[in-house]
Chain A
């Protein structure tokens, strides 16, 4: 246990990126191999997290060092059942993304690979940070490489998409920064210990008035990231313009940072405000599910279709989180992983076909199943997984979410369930239009099937898709204690807090708050 596994996982990609800087610019091959080996090594190391993880609710593999004592910031990292799979998802997707970019990226390969590795470091940092300050640093750091990936290697409107992505995200996160500061000083004044430590801050009961505002600030930041309706407009632009690798990592991992933020911060910090905002958030989640599905249905571009389906899927995740029971939250966690796998894979495959045909318009395809049967098979698996066919991963997630929601809020569950049907409609229609029918276009008749490298990319994803679908307990049992503890925490706080007591405390605090030094 003394091996600082989380620090290694976070900083190894950074080290690799630094090493890549030294490689001469024309050595593309070396850069690619270096990046792939580094990311694969990170994945292999991260497996230790899974096998070494004990099924308890505690933070594990924790490391705590002093960092900026004058500001109360520490270097505190650790994982529990909630963050474990997010870290694993990240380390799993990154080598796949690196490999998928082998031929797709030809311009400034070195810069691309460096950005990918820095991005991986930032994302892992976000998931393992247990100190608000540290979390915020990683949260912002990871923006920069993503911004470059969209802006340099993206499509035609890449600059617009990159700036929109950056500004949207930073708008939310800067307000979160203010909220973090308010929490820091408020809790510090209350307990006498000024700290950004997540685990300590969770213990502090904030008065409702504070909770409401802080929830709004944190929530906005996460809602933009998820993205929840109506803050989703950056997503289709970013997805469509990003290069394939960028889309995969954006859908696979980055969006999860938003839902993870809700679970890790909003739930335990602001349980009372949560109760007030619950109807609003559930409504927005359901709107997101249906709206995303309806818009996806009319997209002429496959990539855009998959992008809007993300809005719908993430709506499910939000619904499950705010069902606030074991089933719902576990379902959400599983669905976060599922979405990373199946939507990530869909983006990969859209990228593969784009590399061959240089178009993504559904109308340009048709009858591909005859020409490229292997591709069609894998595409079918991914489509079905995304729809939620029993036996594959999507089913487990959606089922648990709907079950959890139904136990608490029947109406929302009923409306959300229509999203499952709509998903089947738009995904299968798309599949039918592109894969079946007559192979009419001459350009499509010379398409080549998947290469060995491409199959190698997809097979690991398929393995996990089936594994989760058939035997989800591998994942569920590791999550359960943490999820239960989170729910207990929220419920205990919701039950115990009498608002009036807290208001008095707040009044006392306000006096100290305004005290001028000397």
Chain B
């Protein structure tokens, strides 16, 4: 570690990240010099950048390389998460091309910052080094603070950004403190070393270790919106522009859990951390589910409802962590993938309908949508049913898989509570469907028409939700294999 040497292999290993960063800079430059550039040119460059990064990711499949002396790990686990992040990013970027956003959004900045946020997520998933996790988290967070406040003239948007920033700063501090404690316990920042050292010195139960990993968990749980670290989510999701809420709610959750699984799995390989924390995790899972679902019932605003439901979904995913086996880990990946498509889709419908004069965010605004715009209503129903976990959608298989992991390890009570929550959630997701199809609107609303880019995102999301729901086999097999690798 004395001299810095960077090899070509190192660069190739991080090539998706490089591609994203480079595209980000190109987009910024285009914004600077080509002030008159059409926003569609920026869109195409962004999509090409993410697409290129995805291709590079696929190139790296099965490479199992590490780069920069083990600072970056490029296993299939990391690559899978990369693809999930990229899918979320692409779908969300497409959403920004709606009638409402057009009136104020600064497309070069928006695209570039989204790309940088994706870099942060990607870093969080592809490392076993605690500092890199922190680096990734900060890159992601700072980008998201900016994105949340990108609507500079709206007080809602600014409030969201500021709240997010304040609470986010706290969370970062927790994470950093946790890292410091782990370093104190073991003298290393690399999780694999930490784990090995702990195993050697035989002090698995050391309070430093336990407390340190708990603090790291808290820092990451904040990103994933796990109760009681969820406070930012509703205000931020509601206040931020809808495409950005879609991006945040899915990508940041996935990145949080990606890092969380990596940390907990690697540590517990020798130190048995998770076994000690199982009780805490199950309590958190139950509280998160109940809190999210019960508060979601009362919401009248679609985005806010989705925010609380997003908390609830973090609770379901926690069940997978409690299950603590390979099935659990792979079911979490599966769930995060499904969640990305269904949640971006749900936010996407709100975004799609927004017209120049404003967005239709209230559930009541959707009354009669089934008659005015049957296809949009149908899409929204698919996303709602998927979020509620009804077959034949991805949401159903995801939940089934999560629950099956927990039953496998005997956490039947937890699963029963999860199922009860599922039932509660059906009620408010159905509320949206009821409004769309079963209530008549008193007025004709000027829903936006002809926003093909946004429609493309919605259709892609729907195809994914149904496709994954009916033919999940390939994904499950793949995830199971790659999870067994990181253990």
Contact = CB atoms under 8 A, between A and B. Distances in A.
- Mutual binders A and B: yes
Interface in B370-418: 370-371, 374, 385, 390-392, 396-397, 400-401, 403-404, 407-410, 412, 415-416
Chain B contact patch, size range: 35 or more
Given A151-B437, A178-B419, A181-B415, A163 B430 contact: yes
Given A166-B426, A170-B423, A174-B423, A148 B404 contact: no
Interface in B412-444: 412, 415-416, 419-420, 422-423, 426-427, 430, 434, 437-439
A71 B473 CA distance: 8
A68 B476 contact: yes
B414 to A, nearest CB: 10
B269 interface: yes
A70 B473 contact: yes
A222 interface: no
Interface string B235-272: 00000000000000000000000000000000001000
Given A68-B476, A144-B385, A177-B419, 14 more contacts: A67-B473, A68-B472, A71-B400, A71-B473, A111-B374, A141-B390, A143-B390, A144-B390, A177-B400, A178-B412, A181-B403, A182-B412, A184-B404, A185-B404
A140 B473 contact: no
B391, B397, B415, B430, most chain A CB atoms within 10 A: B391
Contacts of A163: 427, 430, 434
Contact of B269 (A152, A184, A518): A518
A136, A158, A171, A517, most chain B CB atoms within 10 A: A517
B280 interface: no
Contacts of B359: none
B341 to A, nearest CB: 18
B50 to A, nearest CB: 29
Contact of A516 (B325, B427, B430): B325
Nearest to B420: A174
A517 B265 CA distance: 11
A513 interface: yes
A201 B326 CA distance: 25
Contacts of B85: none
- 8 smallest A-B Cβ distances: which pairs? A70-B476, A517-B325, A181-B407, A137-B391, A174-B419, A151-B438, A68-B473, A513-B410
Contact of A178 (B401, B407, B409, B472): B407
Chain B interface mostly helix, strand, loop or mixed? helix
Given A70-B477, A184-B404, A514-B409, A174 B392 contact: no
A271 to B, nearest CB: 23
Given A70-B476, A148-B437, A163-B434, A177 B403 contact: yes
A304 B420 CA distance: 31
Interface in B431-487: 434, 437-439, 472-473, 476-477, 480, 487
B335 interface: no
A340 to B, nearest CB: 25
B426 A170 contact: yes
Contact of A158 (B400, B408, B438): B438
A142 to B, nearest CB: 10
B32 interface: no
Contact of A514 (B410, B423, B487): B410
Given A175-B419, A178-B416, A159 B325 contact: no
A511 to B, nearest CB: 10
Contacts of B29: none
A517 B326 contact: yes
A206 B13 CA distance: 52
Contacts of B434: 151, 159, 162-163
Contacts of B269: 518
B415 A140 contact: no
24 contacts: A68-B472, A68-B473, A69-B477, A71-B400, A71-B401, A71-B473, A108-B370, A111-B370, A136-B391, A137-B391, A141-B392, A166-B430, A167-B423, A170-B426, A174-B423, A175-B419, A177-B400, A177-B403, A177-B419, A178-B412, A178-B415, A178-B419, A181-B407, A516-B325
A162 B419 contact: no
A257 B473 CA distance: 28
A209 to B, nearest CB: 13
B416 A516 contact: no
B391 A174 contact: no
Contacts of A108: 370-371
Contacts of B370: 108, 111, 152
Interface in A141-171: 141, 143-144, 147-148, 151-152, 158-159, 162-163, 166-167, 170-171
B232 interface: no
Chain A interface mostly helix, strand, loop or mixed? helix
Interface of A: 25, 67-71, 108, 111, 136-137, 140-141, 143-144, 147-148, 151-152, 158-159, 162-163, 166-167, 170-171, 174-175, 177-178, 181-182, 184-185, 510, 513-514, 516-518
Given A158-B438, A167-B427, A517-B326, A182 B391 contact: no
A80 B409 CA distance: 36
B145 interface: no
B324 interface: yes
B106 interface: no
Contact of A71 (B392, B412, B420, B476): B476
Contacts of B37: none
A517 B392 CA distance: 30
A151 B390 CA distance: 18
Nearest to B437: A152
A152 B369 CA distance: 13
Nearest to B472: A68
Contacts of B487: 517-518
Contacts of A69: 473, 477
Nearest to A514: B410
A516 B324 contact: yes
B41 interface: no
B275 interface: yes
Contacts of A147: 430
A326 B403 CA distance: 39
Contacts of B473: 67-71
A480 to B, nearest CB: 35
Nearest to A66: B473
Contacts of A143: 390
Interface string B212-223: 000000000000
A33 to B, nearest CB: 21
